[in-house]
Structure 1
Amino acid sequence: MRRITVPVSLSLSLALAACAYQPAPVEVAAPAPAATVAPLSQLVSEVDIPYESFTLDNGLTVLVHTDRKSPIVGVTTYYRVGSKHEPRGRTGFAHLFEHLMFGGSENVENFDIPLEAAGSTSTNGSTWYDRTNYVETVPTGALDLALFMESDRMGHLLGAVTQDKLDKQRGVVQNEKRQGDNQPYGLADYKIADALYPIGHPYRHATIGSMADLDAASLTDVRKWFTDNYAPNNVVLALAGDIDAATARPMVEKWFGDIPRGPEVVQPDAPLVTLAAPVREEMTDQVPVTRVYKVWSGPGLNHAQAADLGMGMAVLGGLSSSRLDNILVRDEQLAVSVSAYMLPFENASFLQATMDVKPGVDTAVAEKRLDEVIAQLMAEGPSEDELTRAATQFVSSQIGSLEAVGGFGGKGSTLAEGLLYSGNPATYKEDLAEIAALTPAEVQSAMNTWLSRPSYTLVVKPGERTEDGALMGGWGDEGTVAPPAPDAKKPVAAIDQGPPRAFPPVAPVGELVFPTVETATLSNGIPVTLARRTSIPKISMAMTFDAGNAADGSANAGTQSLMMSLLEEGTDTRSTLDIATEQERLGASINAGTTTDSSVVYLTALTANLAPSLDLFSDIVRNPAFDEAEVARVKGQRLAAIAQQQATPGSIASRAIGPLIFGENHPYGSVGSAGLVSAIEPLTPAALESVHETWLRPDNAAITVVGDITMEQLKPALEAAFGNWSAPASAVPAKTLDAAVPEAKSRIVVIDRPNSPQSYLLLARVLPLEGTAQGMEALDIANEVVGSGFLSRLNSDLREDKGWTYGVRSSVSAGDVGPRTFSIYTPVQTDRTADSIKLILDRVKEFSDGSRGVDDVELQRVTDGNIRGLPNSFQTNGQVLGALLANERLGRPADYQKQLPTIYRGVDAAAINGAAAQYLTPDNLTIIVVGDRSKIDDQLKTIDMPIEYRDASEF
C-alpha cells in the first residue's frame, strides 16, 4: 500500500482502554432506504490516471500523463530524501536545503521570477520525512523553461550557493519554526514524536529541526547534502497535462541528459517501535481548552494492514458520523471536538486521535470515556455500513483530486509517490480496490493488532507555557551528548561553474478556455447559473443568500454564522446523524457558512448521486429543526472556538481589526463570523429560526453550479428540490453598507501575549472605494507589486533579504460588496518587531509617493505573467465556482474572466503607479501588534506613533 490519507479533520490522538470492560451499545445509523446510490465499484472505476514512462541513462525516471483539457503542464519533481535521512546534529537540514533550492543556480538568479513571468502557478516545494518535492504548473509553451530550470538546480546549483544565501534562508526557516511553535498546542507534535520513537529513530526528530542544528548548518553541509542526495538517479520527474511521452522525452534528454549519476541513497533503518508500557504526560500551554492526545506508532504505508487501519481510524474519528463524534460530542457532550486518523509514511505511521474536552467537564471522565469508545470499536469492529461510508468518502475525494494535473496532491504527485514508495505509479488503483473490498472483520483485526499495544497520552491544559520550542524538534540527546561543532561560517573553496546555459524561449499562450455560462430561472424566481465542465463526474454547487456576517451588526456578531452552522444539525425529518451518514453514503459534502456579505450552502456531489444529494441539500436549507439540545451543543462548540481564536496570534488580530477601523456602527465592524460571547450565549432556537426565516428565502437566493451536467438535466432537478419554496410576505431586509466609518488615524494597538516567540502584525485601513466599483484591476495589480505574492516587494525584503519572517502579505479586499480595505499582515521575530513595522511603512511609502514606481520586470510579471497564468487558475470546479460567485456578488459580467487578458494588457506602469498613489499609502494605518509586551514595548516607542493597549478578550 502507498500512503492512505483519509478525508478527516487535522487533529490528533488515540488510546486503549483497560481490558476488563463491557462495551455499552453504540448508536450506528441504519442505512437510509430511500437513497439510491452508485455502487462503490462504479466509483472506483472512475479513478484513472493513464501514464507512460521512460528512464534516462543517468537514472532519471520520468512519468508522463496526458490531459488535454487545458494548455498547461504540471511539473512535479520528487527527490527521495527527507528529514529521516538527516544525521545527528543536522536536523532540519533537508527542509533548509529545499529553501536554498529556490535561491538561484549557476544560470538562474531567481527561480520564481522567470517562472511566474511565464505564467507558472503553484511554484513551491515541500519536505517531509521521506521526500522533498518541487512543483510548478506552467503553460504548455513554458514547459521547456521549467525543465531547463529544474535541470539547472539539479545539475548546476552549488556554484551559486553562498554564505549570504545560507544565512538568509536559515533565518526564514527559523521564523517558520517560531510561527508553528507560537500557535496554541504548537509544541504537542514534538512531545508525541519524542515519546513514540527512541533517540536516533528516523521518525523521531521533527522535519523543521532544532534551532541549534539550524544554526550549525554550514556550506560544507550544503555541498555534501547536494552531492549525496540530489542526483538524477534519486529522482522521479512527473509531467502531467498537455504533453505526451513522445514530445517530452527529447526535451527531458536535452536538459537532464548530461547530469551525471550520483551515489545511491542509503535508506535508513526505521524499525517499527512498540512502547514497553503506556506513557502519560501533562503539560500546560496558552490554550483555551484541555486537549487529550492518544497516539500509537503504526506500520508504514506499504504494510498489509495500512488500508484497514486508515478506514478503521476514519470510522473511529474521521467521518462526520464517527464513533467519537456521535458519543463524545453529540450524545454525551464531553468534548467540543474530536478526530482520529492514520498519518502514514513510508516506514511508519502515527495512529492518532484527539479530544478537546468541553469546558467544565472533568478531564479524567472524558478521557476514560474516550478509552471506552476506542475499546468498543476494537471489540465489535465497524459495521458494514460504516465501512462503506468511509470508503465512499475516500474514493469520492480521490475522484475530486483528478481535476488538478500538478501541484501538491495533483495527478503528477499521485503517480510519483506510487513509484517512489511502492514501485508502481498505479498503486493508487490497488489502494482503491483494496479499500472497496475491505470487510469489517479485517478492519477489526487490524485495529486490535495495533491499538492493543501501549499508547502515549499527552494532556495539554490551559496555563503558562513551560516548554521552549526552540529547544525541541532535534535528535533527542541534546544536553547529554555534545553536538558536533563545525564553524557554520567557515570559508570553503570556490566551485568552478560549468559553461553558461541559455534560457529557452517561451511560446505564446492561447486564449483562455473558460466554460460557457448558462442561466435559467426556477418557477419561484430563483436564478440559476451553470458552467458545464466534464473533466470529472462531479458537480460543485453553491446556494447563496444576500446576508452574511454583515447582516448581524457588530453587537450581534456570530448570529448569522451560528444559524448557518445549525443547518446540518437536524431537519424536521432527519437527525444530525441521519444527515452525516447520508452524505457519506452518497460521497457528497454539504457545508454551510458565511462570508462578509453572503450566507452560503455548498454541495459537492457525484453526478451519479445528484438526485438524492439534492434531496438532502434542499431539506437542510429549507427545514432546519433548531432543536434545543442541538442548539445548546453547537453554542458550546462555538464558545470554545471563540476561546481558541482569542488564544491564536493571527486570529486575535483578525478579530480586532474590524471594530478598530470600521467602528461599531458599520456592518463590517464586527469581530468576524465566530462572533462575540455576548451575542452567542443568549441565542435561543426561536431566535435562530427567526433569523433563518428572515434571510434564507427564495427571493434572496441564487444557485450557481459547475460540473458534469447540462442545464436540461439540472433545472428539473433543482425545480423538484426548490420550485415549490414560496417567499414570505415580508420584504428582504436591507444592509446599510454605506454607514459612516470613524476617521482613520495612524496608531499602534498592542495586544499582549506573553511568552510569544514572534509578534503578529496587522496593518489596515478602510479605502474610499466600494467592492462593486468596476475597472479597479490596476489597484489589484499594484497591490500584487507591493505585497501580494512571493515575489512582492515586502516579501522579498522582509523574508528573502532580511529573514525576519516566514512570509508577509498585503491585501486589497476583493470579495466584499461594501468598502474595501488595504491590509498587510505578517508574523515577525520578536526582536525585529519595530524594525519590521518601519520597513513595511518605508516600502509602501516609496511605492505610493513615486520614488520607486513599478519597474519593467514587475510590470511584465503582473500583467503578461498573469495573463499566461490564467489557464492554471481554473483547473477545478471549485476554482470556476469561486470566480462565478465573485462575478455575481460584485456585479461583473459572466464572461469577466475571458475579458481579463484584454484588461491586463491595457494596464500600464502609469495606471499601476497612479493606483498606488491614490490607495496604497502608509497614511492613517491602524497597526495591531500581538506579542510579548515585555520584549516589544521599548522597540515600539521608537516609532513616532501613538500607542494603545488592548486585551484579546475585548474582541
Structure 2
Amino acid sequence: MRLLSLALLALLLSPLASAQSDPLEGIPDLEYEMFTLDNGLTLIVHEDHKAPIVAVNVWYHVGSKNEPAGRSGFAHLFEHLMFNGSENFDDDYFQVMERIGATDLNGTTNTDRTNYFQNVPVGALDAALFMESDRMGHLLGAVTQEKLDEQRGVVQNEKRQGENAPYGASRQLVIDATYPKGHPYDHSVIGSLDDLNAASLDDVKEWFRTYYGPNNAVIVLAGDITPEVALEKVTRYFGDIEPGPPVASFERWVAPMTEDRRQVTEDRVPQARMQRVWNVPELGSRDYNLLDVATSILSSGKTSRLYERLVYTDQIATGAFAYVAGSEIGSQLQVVATARPGVAIETVETAVNEELARFLREGPTDEEMERVKTETRANFIRGIERIGGFGGKSDVLAENFVYQGSPDAYRDDLADVLSATPEEVLAVARKWMNMGSYTLITTPMPQFSASATDVDRAAGVPEVMGGTAAVTFPTLQRRTLSNGLEVVLAERHDIPLVNLQLIVDAGYAADDPARPGLASLTMDMMDEGAAGMSALEIAARESELGTGIGTGAAIDVLNVTASALTDNLAETVQLMTDIALRPDFPAQELERLRQQRLAQIQGEKSQPVGLAVRVLPAKLYGEGHAYSLPLSGSGTEAAVMSFTRDDLVGFHETWFKPNNSTLVVAGDVTMDELVPVLERQFRDWERGDVPVKNVADVEQPETKVFLLDRPGAQQSIIMASHLAPKRDNPDDLAISTLNTVLGGSFTSRINMNLREDKGWSYGAQTLLLGARGQRPFIVYSGVQTDKTAESMNEVVKELRDIVGDRPATEAEVAQAIAGQTLTLSGRWETLGAVQGSVAEIVQYDLADDYYATYARAVTDLDANQVSRAAQALVRPDNIVWVIVGDLSKIEQPIRDLNVGPVEVIDADGNTIR
C-alpha cells in the first residue's frame, strides 16, 4: 500500500498530470448572490443585461411526495388554485401577467417541488413581485368552495386527458409496481379522482399553511437587475410574510427491487411498447450523473447502441431510448422501446436485453464517452442562453439550491460527467441493477420572524413602470451569393453560437394531392446518407462538432437547420450542405423509414388529435387543393407504400434550387466572415426553374359535422374550423389581436368559458395556422364526454357574440395589445427565437423592419379596428366540425343540436353513415 501511495503521489506531481485540463473549461459560470430574509425566504440573484427583462422564478419545496395517504394530488391542485386569485387581486393570475407583457409564464408540480415562473419587462417587476408575494402571503382569503370545485374539475379533466392519450395508463402501473406502499413516490403527482373529490376546503387551506411559507421557498431573479435592487424589492414585497411551521424533509430513499417482476396490460395504442425500470440514486449524486452518461450512450442519437441495433440495423423498433428520471430522494432509470408494426414485442425485448448485457459486460468506448461529453457541454451552453423558463438560468439556480443545497451544484454535476472514465461508468451501471438503501435524517429548523414592510396591498397591483421597454430587433443584412442564393443575417454576439436555416419554397403544398407525404419523407431521408456518408457517420460527425442538423417540412416550406459552435462554423456548414445538396437517398434506409412512416400514420390515427388533424384539411379546402392534405404532412399509407427512391430524388432535384431558397443565419458571425464560407460550400449548387404551386383561394365551407368514433374515450376532441384571410392582408395585426381576445390567450373568452366558468375542459383555444394562402382558423378543445354537445353550443355562442352583440371591448383589446407588445422584451432572448422571426419575415415576405415597427403598429390599434377584423375573420355560419369521441355517448346529442348535416367518417375521412 505504501508503494502504491508513493506511485500515486509521483503521478499527481508529474508534468502530465499537471497539464491535464479542467473538465469545466469553457463552461460559463452562472455568477450569483444569495440572501436569506429574516422570515427564511431565500433570494438568489443573477445579472444578465442583454435584454430588458427579468426572470422571476419561485420554487416551493413541496411536491406530491409530501402528501399523506388519502390526499394525493393536493400539491398539483394547489398549483392551479394559486393561479385563481389572491386576497388583493381576486381574479386569474394571467389577467395581470398578460397585461404587463409576461412571457415564459407557467407553473408546474412534480414529486418534489412546485414552481411558478415568468419573464417580465424590467418596468413590470414590481407588479410580478406583488402578484407572487400576494399568493404566497395573502391567498387563503380568496380560496372559496366555488374556486375549489372549479379547479378540481379542471385538474380532473387534465387527468382524463393524460390517461386518454396512448400509453397514458402505463404511468400509474409503473408507479404501483416500482414503489412500495408508504414510499413518498408511491402515487402519481396528479393524484386519484377519489382523493381529489374528497378534498375539503379546510383540507386544502391546512395544506397551504403547512408548506407555502417563505421559509420553504426560494425566489430567483435573473436578468436586467442588480443584487441590491433585487434584495430591496423582494424584502419590500415578501419580508412581511409570516414563516410557516418547520417542514419535515425526506432525504435519500432509494427503493431497489429485489426480484424481476412482469405485468401485461392492454391499451388503445397502435404499437406494442416495452418499459424496463430500475430504482436508482437521487438527482445530483455522482452515481446518478454517471448513470446519466450510461443512458446517453445507450440511446442519445443515431449512433447510440439501442437506436443503432433496434431501429437502424435490425429495424424491429420505431423508437428506443433510455434515460434517468431524476428526483430528489431517488430516481428511476427507464429503457423504453416501441415495436415496429408486425414485430413481436418479445423480439424487441430480447434485443434490448442483449444490448444492455453487452454494455454491462464491455462498458462504454472512449469514442462514446467523448460524444456524450461534447453533447453535454453543447446542450448546457445552449440551455443557459435563456434567463427563464424550463432549463433557463433562473431554473438551473433554483433547482440546484432546492435539490442540492447550492445554486452552483450544477458545476459538480457537469464535472462528474466531463471527467468520467469508461471504467467508472461501467462500475456504477453494474452496481445499480439491484442495490439501494433507505435513510431518514431529521434536523431542527432555525427560528424565523417576519419583518416590516411599506407595501400597501389595498392599493392593488403596482402599475408597469416605463411602459413597453425599448427592444431592438437585429438589423437584417442581405447578400446574394454568386449562384443566386439569398442570405439573410441577424448578427448577435452574446454567446459563441451560430444558427442556420435553409428555407426552400415547397413544403407539403408541393405534394401531389393524390400521393401525399413525399415532401416530408424526402426531408426525413436527407440525413440518412449524404455525400457518401452513412446515417451513422453523419450522426457521429454531428456529435464531434457539437451540432445537430435538422431536416423537415412544413405546409409551405422545406427546412434544413443547423446550430454551430462558432469555432466549428465552417465544418458545420460543410456538413449541412452535404446533407442539403448531396443526399444519397440510400434504398435500404428508405425501406426502414417507410416502415417508420407507416407506424407514424397508425399512431396519428390512434390519437384523437391526430385523427382530427388528418381529416380536417380535406373537409375544409376540398379534395385536390394543395392544403387539403393531413396537417402532419405524413401522407397516407397507400402513398407511402408507393414511393420509390426515384420519387425522392426527383422531388429534391425539382425544388432544391438556390433561386428558390433563402439561407437565414443568426448569431456570432459577420457577413464578411460568413459569405466566403458559404461561397465555398454552395458554389456548385446551380439555379434552375421550379414549378408553380397551386394554392388558389376557395369558397368558405358550408357548415357540416364530421364524427370519428373512439370507443371508451374519456374525453371528446372538438375542432371547429373555417378559412381565414391570408397573412399578407392589411388587417392582419387586427385579426391577430382579435384572435387573442377570442381564444389566443389563457384569459380569452373561449378558454374562460369552457375551462374556468364551466370546468368542462383543461383548456380551449383558437388557432390561426401559418400558411401563405388562406389559413385554417380552428377552435380546439378537449372536453369531458358528457359535455360534448354543450361545449359545441358554447363555441358557437362565443363566435356569434364577438361578431354580434358582444364585440371585443376596449379593455379586452387593451389587454391583448399589452400581451403582444410588452412580451417583446423577452421575445428574442435566444438565437432560436431570432432565427424563427427572421424565417417568418422570409416565409411571408414581410418587410425587414416588420418587428422594428411591430409594437407601434399594434399599439395604434383600437377596439373599432379589432371589431371590424372580427367580421373579416369569424364566420359562425361556415363551420366545419370534426369531433372525435365515444359516439355511443355523444352522437345523438350532437345530432339533436341541428347545427348542420352530420356524417360519421373513418380515419381516412371516408363516410361510414
Identify the TM-score tier after normalising by the shorter chain: over 0.9
Aligned partner of 1:107 among 88, 110, 117? 88
Indicate yes or no: 2:659 matched with 1:702. Answer: no
Give the direction of change, closer, same or farther, for the CA distance of 1:680–1:505 in structure 2 (3 Å limit).
same
Contact kept in structure 2, 1:44 and 1:395, CA below 8 Å: no
CA distance in structure 2 between the aligned counterparts of 1:583 and 1:386, rounded to whole angstroms: 13
Q: In structure 2, which of residues 58, 75, 87 is the aligned counterpart of residue 77 of structure 1?
A: 58
CA contact (8 A) 1:555 1:664 kept: no
Secondary structure, counterpart of 1:646 in structure 2: helix
Q: Does 1:238 align with 2:220?
A: yes
Any conservation in 2 of the 1:74–1:405 contact (CA below 8 Å)?
A: yes
Query: What are the residue-to-residue correspondences of 1:220-619 with 2, within 5 Å?
Result: 220-268=202-250, 271-451=253-433, 500-508=458-466, 509-619=468-578
> Which one-letter code corresponds to 2:874 in the other structure?
L
Aligned to 2:681: 721
What's 1:857 paired with? 811
Match of 1:652 among 611, 614, 625: 611
SS in 1 for 2:619: helix
Partner residue, 1:186: 168
Contact 1:543 1:701 in 2 (8 A): yes
Instruction: Quote how far apart the aligned CAs of 1:269 are.
Output: 6.2
- Tell me whether 1:827 sits opposite 2:782 in the alignment: yes
Give the conservation status (yes or no) of the 8 Å contact 2:252–2:328. no
Inter-partner Cα distance in structure 1 for 2:119 and 2:132:
13
1:318/1:341 contact within 8 Å kept: no
Looking at structure 2, the residues matched to 366 and 413 of structure 1 have their Cα atoms a distance apart, in angstroms, of 37
Q: Distance in 1 between matches of 2:23 and 2:565?
A: 11
The answer as to 2:619 corresponding to 1:637 is: no
Q: 8 Å contact 1:534–1:708 — kept in the other structure?
A: yes
Shift in Å at residue 499 of structure 1? 6.9
- 3-state DSSP of counterpart to 2:320: strand
Q: Which residue of 2 aligns with 1:789?
A: 745
1:270, CA displacement in angstroms? Answer: 6.0
Which of 746, 758, 761 matches 2:715?
A: 758
Counterpart-to-counterpart distance in 2, 1:576 and 1:900:
43
**CA offsets 1:466-486 (integer angstroms, 9 cap, x no match):** xxxxxxxxxxxxxxxxxxxxx
Which whole-Å deviations, capped at 9, do the CAs of 1:900-920 have from their partners, x for residues lacking one?
A: 111112210000111112221
Aligned to 2:644: 684
Please report the RMSD computed on the Cα atoms of aligned residues, expressed in angstroms. 1.7
The whole-number CA distance in structure 2 between the counterparts of 1:80 and 1:340 is 28
* Deviations 1:670-725 (CA, angstroms, capped at 9, x unpaired): 01311111111011112111111111122211100111111111111111211221
Deviation track 1:54-77 (CA, whole Å, cap 9, x = no partner) reads 111001110111111111000000
CA contact (8 A) 1:553 1:670 kept: no
Secondary structure, counterpart of 1:540 in structure 2: strand
Change (3 A) 1:174 1:386: same
The residue type equivalent to 1:242 in the other structure is D
Work out whether residues 40 and 436 of structure 1, in 8 Å CA contact, stay in contact via their aligned partners in 2: no
Unaligned stretches of 5+ residues in structure 2 = 1-19, 437-455
1:553–1:668: 8 Å Cα contact kept in structure 2?
no
Contact 2:514 2:624 in 1 (8 A): no
Correspondence for 1:485: none
| Residue of structure 2 in register with 1:60 after alignment | 41
**CA-CA distance at 1:942 after TM superposition:** 2.4
Alignment check: 8 A CA contact 1:553 1:669 kept: no
Q: Percent identity?
A: 40
Note if contact 1:550-1:596 (Cα within 8 Å) is conserved in structure 2. yes
CA distance in 1, matches of 2:235, 2:390: 25
Match of 2:876 in 1: 922
Shift of the alpha carbon at 1:200? 2.0
1:742 Cα offset (Å): 5.9
1:43-192 to 2 correspondence within 5 Å?
Answer: 44-110=25-91, 111-192=93-174
1:822-901 equivalences in 2 (<5 Å): 822-849=777-804, 851-901=805-855
Moved more, 100-109 or 932-941: 932-941
1:41-89 CA distance string (max 9 Å, x none):
6885232211111111001110111111111000000000001101111
Number of residues paired by the alignment?
A: 869
1:531 and 1:845 mapped to 2: Cα distance?
43
**Structure 2: how far apart are the matches of 1:537 and 1:44?**
14
- Kept in 2, the 8 Å contact 1:75–1:146? The answer is yes
Structure 2 equivalent of residue 471 of structure 1: none
Any idea what the Cα deviations from partners look like across 1:635-674, whole Å, max 9, x if unmatched? Answer: 1001001100000111110111111111122100001311
Tell me if structure 2 keeps the 8 A contact 1:771–1:818: yes
* 3-state secondary structure, aligned to 1:95: helix
**Contact 1:554–1:671 (Cα < 8 Å) also in 2:** no
TM-superposition CA deviations, 1:312-350 (whole Å, max 9, x none): 001111233110111111111111211111111111111
Counterpart in the other structure of 1:674: 634
Q: Any idea what the Cα deviations from partners look like across 1:780-813, whole Å, max 9, x if unmatched?
A: 1001100011110001111111111111110122
CA distance in 1, matches of 2:908, 2:628: 16
Q: How far apart are 1:775 and its partner, in Å?
A: 4.0
Partner secondary structure for residue 779 of structure 2: strand
Q: Report the Cα distance in structure 2 between the residues aligned to 1:679 and 1:572, rounded to whole angstroms.
A: 28
TM-score by length of 1: 0.89
Q: In structure 1, give the amino acid aligned to 2:558.
A: S
Residues 350-392 of structure 1, C-alpha deviation per residue, up to 9 Å, x if partnerless?
1111111122223222211110011101111111111111121
Distance, in Å, in 1 between the alignment partners of 2:246 and 2:286 is 27
What is aligned with 1:463? none
The alignment's TM-score, normalised by the length of structure 2, stands at 0.93
Which deviates the most, 316-325 or 231-240? 316-325
Unaligned ranges ≥5, structure 1: 1-38, 455-497
**Do the aligned partners of 1:848 and 1:918 also contact (CA within 8 Å) in 2?**
no
1:349 maps to amino acid:
S
- 3-state secondary structure, aligned to 1:54: strand
Classify the secondary structure of the residue corresponding to 1:568.
coil
Aligned partner of residue 585 in structure 1, secondary structure: helix
Q: How far 1:743 moved relative to its partner?
A: 5.1
- CA distance, structure 2, for counterparts of residue 626 and residue 904 of structure 1: 46
Whichever residue aligns with residue 73 of structure 2, its letter is: G
Aligned pair in 2 of structure 1 residues 941, 40: CA closer, same or farther (>3 Å)? Answer: farther
Q: Distance in 1 between matches of 2:543 and 2:199?
A: 48
1:22 counterpart residue number: none
Segment drifting more, 89-98 vs 272-281: 272-281
CA shift at 1:501, angstroms?
4.7
Residue 693 (structure 2) aligns with: 735
Q: Which one of the candidate residues 746, 757, 765 is aligned to 1:801?
A: 757
Letter in 1 for 2:478: T
Distance 1:247 1:79 in 2: 23
- Per-residue CA deviation, residues 915-950 of structure 1 (Å, 9 max, x unaligned), is 112221311101111000111122212211221000
